Amino acid sequence: MLRRPALSLLLRSAVLLTALGATALGAWAQSAAKNTVTTPQVKAELMAHAPNGVGAGETVWVGLQLTHQPEWHTYWKNSGDSGLPTQLEWTLPPGVMAGDIAWPVPKKIPIGNLANYGYDNTVLLPVPLTVTPDFKPSLLASELEVKLKAAWLVCRKECIPEEGEFVLKIPVRSSTGINGAAFDAAQKAQPKHLPAGGSIAVNGQALQVSVPGLPAALRGKTLEFFPETGEVIETAAPYTQSWQGDVWTASVPLSAQRSQSPTLMPVVLAIGADGAREAWRSEAKVTTAWPSTAAPAAVSPALQAALAGNAASISISSSTPSLTLAAALLGALLGGLILNLMPCVFPILAIKVVGFARHAGNGRARRVGGAAYTAGVVVSFLALGGLMLALRAAGAQLGWGFQLQSPAMVAALALLFTVIALNLAGLFEFGQFLPGRLAALEARNPAANAFLSGVLAVAIASPCTAPFMGASLGLAVGLPAVQALAVFGAIGIGMALPYLLASWVPAVAGWLPRPGAWMDTLRRFMAFPMFATVAWLVWVLGQQSGIDGAGALLALLVAVSAVLWALTLRGRTRLVVAGLSAVVLALLAGAIGGNVVAAEGPARNAAAGERWQAWAPGRVEQALAAGQPVMVDFTAAWCVTCQYNKKTTLANAEVLADLQAKQVQLLRADWTRRDPDITAALGRLGRSGVPVYVLYKAGSPPVVLSEVLAVDELRAAITKL
């Protein structure tokens, strides 16, 4: 006879994994709502300095401190040949006004034959807040709440746009001086103002710069030159400088692509190294006429109209919801039903098939199991949807399937499914090495086991976006919480409905064969879908953490399997072999475990292939402005539907020929790892998960295609471009 598989303990571990993931994401969301945001490249912290307290007429200093990882940098107000300056957007109470950034002196950062102006290591960008008499906090309010939305571009060889939302509360009735040293250092890094203005004259292809009034101690020394106005000089080109008495002069090459013609051009002169730098600022008047700018530097009216028209069409299309709540609920219900046919749900069918076969002759057990499974699915969808909504409300850019964007969660699921597969294959039974009471939990709690199998089903099925689900999920994230949770609950009901009906309709029991020895064969056969899922999860991890991460995970799974096998032995052999296996597992985890969660880099920087190019913000608009239609494939390695479409419809020779004939720019937005820019782009399309396929044409709204993409549908859409 078949021994009952002890899957209940494994299912309980699935719940533990889900709880740990939720705890980690919740902690991250709380930190996002505070004064610090940390990325792999930068730690950004909002700081304050109010030594005299917060009162009318006082100046309160706040600032964003950026601590860069080695070799990474952000940009000055004039970023040079490339890059963008850091942008700060403040939300302040009435009566408090923010000034401009008091930019510290930058460094010149050579990049090949170009050069940028920016900061590495640690820099504080201070901003003065002026407190006016109109600021009147209530008696109960003892703090000045400062909110900041910041955006910065951080670069090494590649550039990554990043952003963060910060909240800082400054005591109103006491001083704040804990960050005094940082603000004092930032104050010393400010260029000193020179009362005597300089002058700039255009002489052929060079600027003749003259700056008087510098300290006498500088005469004869070489100074660094930083113009605050961008797109005027050749930033990377060498320039000559000399002293004419007490006047510093320089001949600076004029840029062939100059686009600015200022009448007043502030410049900064600096000397010294880190920790001992001094700088002076002069507002130099331009005393001669500028030559005409090069034609390519100007944007043609046609190009400007194309850009504006395309932006308007996209914004209008995405701003109006395409579904009502009733339609969204119906779509969610149908999507949940179809979710049972998605490849990512097949492993869960193994558990349900074994369970149905076991209870074929027991109507009450079948009904209890069906109801408990349905409860597990619906509650899990509600919990997952609520967590996603809460994190998005806290400022996180997340979408459906966000849990598999974490390498740690992918590795944990691979471990869980490996253990389940080994159990189904008959390698071990928990009763062999667990106390009798613990091993008997499954028999006493069939409803709990069914509930936990529903939790596990949602954990592995949620990354899929079935037909009808995409638009419903996209609408849900913008609805009030109660209505949004209703949509998530409808998906759960749809997914569980076949099992619920089967468990309560007596006719279904007649279709099932009687329990017998064949069930042991079925159970062992069902181990193979589990092993296939492990292979898929290892591949997903390889897309996130690289070949070293995938190899490390495989090695650790083998070591875990050896420990489980050793625990099935008897006597002293079990003690020795299990102990050695556990030691090997611990050594492997310490030596190579870090590779599993190591970041390989942003997915968008990975090679997307010769035909498909990597998506990035602005690339769609650039192509449309040049008159080229665009197709974007929003995908992820953990999305099985995405991979199916990629190998079938998107690889179809006729489809590729049609795309080539229309000269369609093909872009692939890889969402395997969390990417706020891709999340935002999906949100503008009314979607919150992948796959999403979009066709863009200048002057027309974007066309969003079906999740399960058919060749005929795509070819028909291409003909309209």
3-state SS record for 217-285:
HHCCCCCEEEECCCCCECCCCCCEEEEECCEEEEEEEECCCCCCCCCEEEEEEEECCCCCCEEEEEEEE
At residue 268, φ and ψ (nearest 5 deg) are -120, 130
Six-digit token string for 168: 């800082």
Rounded to an integer, what distance in angstroms lies between the CA atom of residue 144 and that of residue 167?
10
State the DSSP code for 135. -
What's the distance, Cα to Cα, between the start and end of the chain in Å?
63
What is the model's pLDDT at position 351?
59
pLDDT of residue 5: 42
**Beta pairing, strands 665-670 & 613-614:** parallel
3-state secondary structure 439-466: HCHHHHCHHHHHHHHHHHHHHHHCCCCC
pLDDT digits (tens, 9 = 90+) for 619-639: 888 888 888 999 999 988 767
The DSSP bridge partners found for residue 233 are 254
Structure-block tokens of residue 7: 């899957």
pLDDT of residue 388: 64
Cα–Cα distance measured from residue 58 to residue 52, given in angstroms and rounded to the nearest whole number? 7
Tokens for 655? 């489809």
DSSP 89-143: EEE--TTEEE----PPP-EEEEETTEEEEEE-SEEEEEEEEEE-TT----TT--E
Point out which residues pair with 380 in neighbouring strands.
none
d(CA 333, CA 322) in angstroms, rounded, equals: 17
The string of DSSP letters for 618-676 reads THHHHHHHTT--EEEEEE-TT-HHHHHHHHTGGG-HHHHHHHHHTTPEEEEEE-SS--H
Residue 315's pLDDT is what? Answer: 38
- Positions in the chain short of pLDDT 70: 1-33, 138-141, 173, 175, 177, 274-275, 293-325, 328, 339, 341-363, 388-406, 429-446, 459-481, 506-519, 522, 599-610, 638, 640, 674, 688
Residue type at 225 in one-letter notation: F
Q: What pLDDT does 393 receive?
A: 55
- For 666, the 3-state DSSP assignment is strand
Taking alpha carbons only, the member of 307, 291, 309 closest to residue 299 is 307
Q: What is d(CA 623, CA 641) in angstroms, rounded to the nearest whole number? A: 27
- Give the per-residue pLDDT at 312: 42
Nearest to 203 by CA among 81, 287, 294: 287
Lookup: tokens for 715? 């070819």
Do 627 and 665 contact (CB within 8 A), yes or no? Answer: no
Chain centroid offset of residue 132 CA: 39
| 104 cis-preceded (ω within 30 degrees of 0) | no
pLDDT of res. 236: 86
Verdict on whether the full-model pTM lies above 0.85: no
pLDDT value, residue 123: 93
Phi then psi for residue 587, to 5 deg, are -65, -40
Which amino acid, residue 151?
Answer: A
Give the separation between CA 191 and CA 272, rounded to whole angstroms. 13
Q: Is the separation of the CB atoms in 355 and 503 below 8 Å?
A: no
**243 touches 219 (CB < 8 A):** yes
Rounded CA separation 13/442 (Å): 14
Q: Which domains does the chain have, with CATH numbers?
A: 7-28+317-596 (no CATH), 33-190 (2.60.40.1250), 193-290 (2.60.40), 603-719 (3.40.30.10)
Closest C-alpha to 194, from 248, 233, 119:
248
